[in-house]
A and B are shown apart, each in its own frame.
Chain A
Amino acid sequence: MNEIVASPTIAQARAAGPRFGERMLSAGARCAIPVYVLLALGFLAPLFAVVAYSFATPRGFDVFRTFTLENYRQILDPANTVWMSFAWSLGLALLTVAILTLVAYPIAYGLARLFGRSAGLVSVLFVFPLFVSENIRLYGWVLFFIKGGVLDGTLKAMGLPGAPEFLFTPAATLFGMVYVYLPFMLFPMVLGLSMVPRDLIDAARDMGAGRLQIWHEVELPLAMPGILIGMLLTFVLAVGAVAESKVLGGQSVIVITQDIEIAFTYAQNWPFGSALAVILTLIVGVLTVLGIGRLDLDRILGRRS
């Protein structure tokens, strides 16, 4: 047993390199390297490329060799209606957030508080659609709302006049966004509401607070980080959404991402598309940095210590 402490072994151990406790210090940083490399090559560099392209000659591909503000000037040109696309995207995103807050809150409350053992199953039901491509799901709605589709056919079979025109309107686009982004609002909200200790609510009730007062004074402020993440995530994703307006909205409105896409594809004007993407990225980026800058992610994601 004692040979462990005999000096040759000690020498070997020393030669074997740094020890457990010592390695722990930098272990975290070393584990983060692959992720950082991926983010640098796959996120930062592409964004940088977009920025670089946005300063290139319009309709050209001579990135890094020319510098012009022409693309930005074009966007600001009053003759250009691209600002309408921005307005639609921002407006639809805001409405999506507002509607989803109302739609998701009761469900999030149920998942965090009421459903108990079945909460896991209900969560899976809400997660699963994420694994089905959104255009399949949106197309299902087309089949539902279209003339002669599921809704129309059912109503007519019941002797009613049939479904109103809904498809290919801005409202349908909004509907699609609310539908697609529901999980992105729901799960951060559940995380937020789960952070409110049950005892606090019981204590507030014990001290005479009514249901509305408990909600307003205790539950809402404590769940706010989660709710805000949900709103931010939904907004950011909805501002960049395009499938909804193409599939359900029938291009009745052109959203900003579609303008970017057109510039990249049909128009073959990459510098102009890049300039639009830079502006969109700035909107999204500023909001995100402000939104998640102050978050305590350890607390939200449930670190015990």
Chain B
Amino acid sequence: MSLSPEARAERRSARFIALWTGFVVLAIYTPILCGFVASVNKGRYFRFPLAKTSMEWWQKTFDSIEIGMLVRTSLAMAGLVTVIAVVIAFFGALAYARYDWKGRRLYQKLVLLPIFFPQPVLGLALLLWFNALGMQMSWQTAVFAHLVWIVPVVTLVMAIQMYSFDAALEEAAFDLGASRLQVLREVTLPILWPGIWSGALFAFLLSWGNFPLSLYTTGPDTSVPEWLYAKMVAGYTPMVPALGSMATIAAAAVLLGMGLLARALRKRPAQ
């Protein structure tokens, strides 16, 4: 079977695109792998190829009380951000994609503004603002800072799914005798769960990995990315790549776990 020159060119470009995508994916994960390699180095100073490998820095990181506190701070922030962001963004997404109302077009654009804004500058601006209000910085103020950026992102994530929600379903339930609360419980929420879950996932992971907003707004508290940065700039120890790798693996585990859970729920019969 001979192909036309046209079809051959198409096949060539498809192959190029696949190769290029593979190469870029590889590049994206190269530094993450490098961090992993550095974390299993036995010595204090990194040289490649490694002379000896050991998990001792992982063990030290794991046992460190200081790092335990960092992780607790980061988890508390991410947890609180997730809960608040999901609630605000759920209604935000309803206003974005579900209801037709007078100010919707403008609202849709205003929501984007914090996303289209450099985070370090936003962090500094919040620092200034908290200061002007006479507030003490702590991880709670950082939670608020995270929300300013994460709520719009989660709103978009949820809105994309809400666009495909058929408004007639709610009306039908209402018409069939359901009260407003029953409509929400029996129809709206069950159908929108996937979007809410992915929104929660985004909120948690984006907060967990955020550095520029935390840097200026945590005050004396320190999150994992902040600590890593401080040690990178001054006082490298292999605990830096070790903790970095742990944070990455934790994020991957959360993502994977949620993905598998979602798949299991989807496969379940309608009963």
Chain A residues in contact with chain B, CB under 8 A?
20, 24-36, 38-39, 42-43, 45-47, 49-50, 52-53, 63, 103, 106-107, 109-110, 114-115, 122, 124-126, 128-144, 146, 148-150, 152-154, 157, 179, 182, 211, 232-233, 236-237, 239-243, 246-247, 257, 260-261, 264, 270, 273-274, 277, 280-281, 284, 288, 291-293, 295, 297-298, 301-304
The 6 closest A-B pairs by CB, nearest first: A240-B118, A140-B31, A28-B101, A28-B99, A153-B48, A42-B148
Q: How far is the CB of A170 from chain B (nearest CB, A)?
A: 19
Q: Is the CB of B120 within 8 A of A261?
A: yes
B233 CB, min distance to chain A CBs, angstroms: 8
- How many residues of chain B are within 8 Å of chain A by beta carbon? 103
* Residues of the B chain whose Cβ atoms lie less than 8 Å from the Cβ of A50: 124-125, 128-129
Measuring CB to CB, which residues of chain B are less than 8 angstroms from any residue of chain A?
6, 9-10, 14, 16-18, 20-21, 24-25, 27-35, 37-38, 46-49, 87-89, 91-92, 94-95, 97-105, 107-122, 124-129, 132, 144-145, 147-148, 151-152, 155-156, 159-160, 163-164, 171, 174, 180, 205-206, 208-212, 216, 224-225, 228-229, 232-233, 240-241, 244, 247-248, 251-252, 255, 259
> A238 → chain B, closest Cβ, in Å?
8
In the complex, are the beta carbons of B88 and A38 less than 8 A apart? yes
Report yes or no: A301 in contact with B156, Cβ–Cβ below 8 A.
yes
**CA gap between A154 and B47 in the complex, in Å:** 11
Interface pair A284/B116, CB less than 8 Å apart: yes
Provide the bound-state CA to CA distance between A34 and B160, in Å: 19
Structural contact, B31 and A143, CB atoms closer than 8 A: yes
Contact A34/B92 with A49-B132, A236-B117 known, Cβ cut-off 8 Å: yes
In the complex, what residue of chain B is closest to A210 when comparing beta carbons?
B6
Known: A125-B25, A150-B34. A110 touches B17 (CB 8 A): yes
Contact of B209 among A132, A143, A148 (CB under 8 A): A132
Q: Is the interface of B mostly helix, strand, loop or mixed?
A: helix
A133 to B30, CA, bound (A): 15
Of A32, A257, A291, the contact of B107 (CB 8 Å cutoff): A32
Residues in A whose Cβ lies below 8 Å from that of B17: 106-107, 109-110, 114
Give 11 A-B pairs besides A28-B95, A34-B91, A39-B113 with Cβ atoms closer than 8 angstroms.
A31-B92, A34-B92, A35-B111, A39-B148, A43-B148, A139-B240, A149-B34, A154-B48, A242-B212, A261-B124, A270-B128
Asked if B48 contacts A141 (CB within 8 A), the reply is no
Is B121 within 8 A of A260, CB to CB? yes
Choose from B10, B152, B232, B255 the contact partner of A131 (Cβ within 8 Å): B255
When distances are taken between beta carbons in the complex, the residues of chain B under 8 Å from A130 are: 205-206, 209
Contacts A29-B101, A42-B126 hold; do A122 and B25 have CB atoms under 8 A apart?
A: yes
The residue from B33, B34, B107, B120 contacting A242, defined by CB atoms under 8 A apart: B120
Taking CB atoms, residues of chain B closer than 8 Å to A153 are: 47-49
- Is B88 touching A47 in the complex (CB atoms < 8 A)? no
Q: Is the CB of A133 within 8 A of B209?
A: yes
Using CB atoms, name the residue of chain B closest to A152.
B48
Query: Would you give 15 A-B contacts (Cβ < 8 Å), ordered by A?
Result: A25-B101, A32-B107, A33-B91, A34-B87, A36-B107, A49-B128, A106-B21, A114-B17, A130-B206, A132-B244, A141-B30, A233-B116, A240-B117, A240-B121, A288-B116
